[in-house]
Structure 1
């Protein structure tokens, strides 16, 4: 049976799982040193879900207060719930992730855009397609009205947090999905919280790149041979699922490049790849249309542009392509 909700992974280590792994349905983590202190990994962007997670964690931390938290990267579905943390909690992320948090759209702006998307999504053409897809991204989530607490502690490459008598090792593996992706490893429990380095059973998104960094990051995760990996989205996994994700990225890189070299446009390339026999092994992952979002990043870089976060215009065009492919019944 697929595990969901608060799930114990090892001695004093839990995850709160939302295994469907769709837009905004992120997993979070908790590491407890009984009688001493606790650490939280990521928070959810929906204010009700953030409170729900805090409430179910409370019995586990009543004698071990949450003194530390980690945000794995800059996407709002992994840190917009920071206000649900105790006010004395120190929040750590990578320096690159913190910069991305400050540069990204705040939750109030995204609420306005998604609400407008619900209205304009009814009209034909790319504007309507982009609007309907933005509404899909938010779903029924209720974002915070104000920008939540930013992390107040950063590092560059690696950092060790001490929680009571336990060590939690942080390592930045980005830029890949975003500029500052980091993972949190609990060596004494054999658990790695990977953030969005892992999408399991749900289609990943390359927002920043380069893709080769993501492939190298997966190799790093595999080398640890952890007992349990907690993905940013999807169910708990082991090395088999990581290898499957790695093979997806290698296929998309090579097949996408062949389309690019033929002069095919991004949306048409996604159509062709979705029709290919090779794609059959991954077409059961949720949100398969997100292939076009990653292709937009790859094509942008194959044009000679350096890796970087998507501009508002590039993201809007990618959402319009994804919405159009859904409307056309490609996925």
Structure 2
């Protein structure tokens, strides 16, 4: 179910299922009569406007004074200009660095538009271009780089919102360098950013994977009533364990492919055709397995964890599109 949903006492989530590229969830914490806090914003300017309009009745007597961006991917912060001008925006120090270093909206718009044309070409260049266009979909990005956070922390901090406490904890680097979670203990709700993809194939952009496994253990230890993932529907601990099992399988299966010197495309083909993959084949964008596989191979080849280079990202995009064109993921 998509749209604005109450998930706890004074806590709402705007869900965008099934949670594919750019379909990121956002959140709202309200202290009635005093103040409110927003968790993440949408990269599509029209969607960001609709979310703000849906939230307006809830914040009429509790203006938005605080916001949190869970990490540096544009689909979680490119809508920051939809926030009231006086809102303080918080993220981790590492996430802010990632925002400054990543491609701005205008550049991704240009790449996706070019990719739509290049996608008609055969071979890796055409495949990479087509997949870049697929990532954008029909989203309309802001024309300029939106407001960046103006408040950062390194490992953990708390925000007071009208007497309510929102705990922030950086659990990255995992998906990205600065992944953080927002816990509203009095409501039993945790906003996890992209540490949780539920029913949607996760992406290990940065790593190391062991950090992500530890982060999932941290989430499980809280045993919250509701977890709001970065992508996909609301979940509990069972779904977190399923995600953890996916990572364990991918780690071990990919390691076997790497040990035998198999290249990225044949390794990806072998993994998606394996019987073990059947239980995750129905997840949104299952070809994104390739993106994580690329990160794992890169690190097993001796490179330190870090954001993907342009070459690595383009190579992984080409392989992902090739799998789709081959029909390797058809059930």
Question: What range describes the TM-score normalised by the shorter chain of this pair?
Answer: over 0.9
Match of 2:99 in 1: 101
Deviation of 1:302 after TM superposition, in Å, equals 0.1
Which residue is 2:222 aligned to? 224
Match of 1:55 in 2: 53
Using the alignment, how far apart are the partners of 1:61 and 1:232 within structure 2? 23
Alpha-carbon distance between aligned partners in 1 of 2:319 and 2:81, rounded to the nearest angstrom = 34
- Shift in Å at residue 307 of structure 1? 0.2
Q: Match of 1:237?
A: 235
Aligned pair partner of 2:158 in 157, 160, 164: 160
The answer as to 2:70 corresponding to 1:72 is yes
Shift of 1:200: 0.3
1:319 aligned to 2:317? yes
- Alignment partner, residue 256 of structure 2: 258
1:327 deviation in Å? 1.0
Listed as ranges, the matches of 1:199-214 within 5 Å are 199-214=197-212
Structure 2 CA distance for aligned equivalents of residues 115 and 4 of structure 1: 28
SS at 1:233's partner residue? coil
**Cα-to-partner distance string for 1:222-256 (whole Å, 9 max, x where unaligned):** 00000000000000000010000000000000000
Q: What TM-score do you get using the length of structure 1 for normalisation?
A: 0.99
Cα deviations by residue, 1:59-80 (Å, 9 ceiling, x for unpaired): 0001100000000000000000
Aligned match of 1:81 in 79, 94, 105? 79
SS in 2 for 1:223: helix
Corresponding residue pairs, total: 329
Residues in 1 aligned to 2:137 and 2:22: alpha-carbon distance in whole angstroms = 8
Q: In structure 1, what is the Cα distance between the partners aligned to 2:104 and 2:309?
A: 15
Residue of 137, 140, 144 corresponding to 1:139 = 137
How far apart, in 2, do the equivalents of 1:298 and 1:10 lie? Answer: 37
Secondary structure in 2 aligned to 1:232?
Answer: coil
Paired with 1:204 and 1:230, the residues of 2 have a C-alpha distance of 15
Out of 186, 194, 197, the position equivalent to 1:196 is: 194
What CA distance in whole angstroms lies between the structure 1 residues aligned with 2:213 and 2:311? 27
Q: What residue is the counterpart of 1:7 in the other structure?
A: 5
Structure 2 Cα separation of the partners of residues 286 and 10 of structure 1:
27
- How many Å apart are 1:56 and its aligned residue? 0.6
SS in 2 for 1:325: helix
Cα deviation, 1:123-145, whole Å, max 9, x if unaligned, reads 10000000000000000000000
Taking the aligned partners of 2:251 and 2:264, their CA distance within structure 1 comes to 13
Q: Which runs of 5 or more residues in structure 1 are unaligned?
A: none
**C-alpha separation between the residues in 1 aligned to 2:273 and 2:80?**
41
Question: 2:171: which partner in 1?
Answer: 173
Moved over 3 A (4+): none
User: What is the rounded CA distance, in whole Å, between the counterparts of 2:291 and 2:313 in structure 1?
Assistant: 8
